[in-house]
Amino acid sequence: MSTAAFEVAATASDVLNVIGAFAGGLLIAGALVWAVWLGMRVRDREPPRPRSEEQPHLPDTGPVRETREMREPDEIHQTERERLLPHELHHSGSKRGDDQNRKRWLPGSSGGFGSGGIGHV
């Protein structure tokens, strides 16, 4: 083939690439427009958002604070039966502990498994 035939084939290939890129861009733009339109239709079918007076408010006493307490398990007294039924247990299975001081690790101890400490020597 001559160089002129190669130039015509290369030019035709460039034109096809530009047309393909333009068609792909139109396809993506059309998909985005369709997605926005669909989202607007879905949002129109949703119930209206609550107004500010319908939003929850803080109690008059202020925000509720977290309470922290040390718990200990309830003692289970053995009966003549082999096991207790669920309604015979305390509702949470634990009670407030007598000692409310938080347990701390001993100085020089490793802390816990995998904590990276050197351990108690």
47-102 pLDDT per residue, tens: 998 898 899 888 888 888 888 888 877 776 666 666 767 776 666 667 777 788 87
Q: How far apart are CA 121 and CA 115, in angstroms?
A: 16
Q: Is 21 helix (H, G, I), strand (E, B) or coil?
A: helix
Write down the pLDDT at residue 26.
97
Closest CA to 102 of 68, 75, 74, 73: 68
Dihedral angle computed from the Cα positions of residues 105, 108, 109 and 110, in that order, rounded to the nearest 10 degrees: 110
Rounded CA-CA distance 33/36 in Å is: 5
First to last CA, the chain: 87
Taking the complete model, does pTM exceed 0.95, yes or no?
A: no
What pLDDT is stored for residue 1 in this prediction?
56
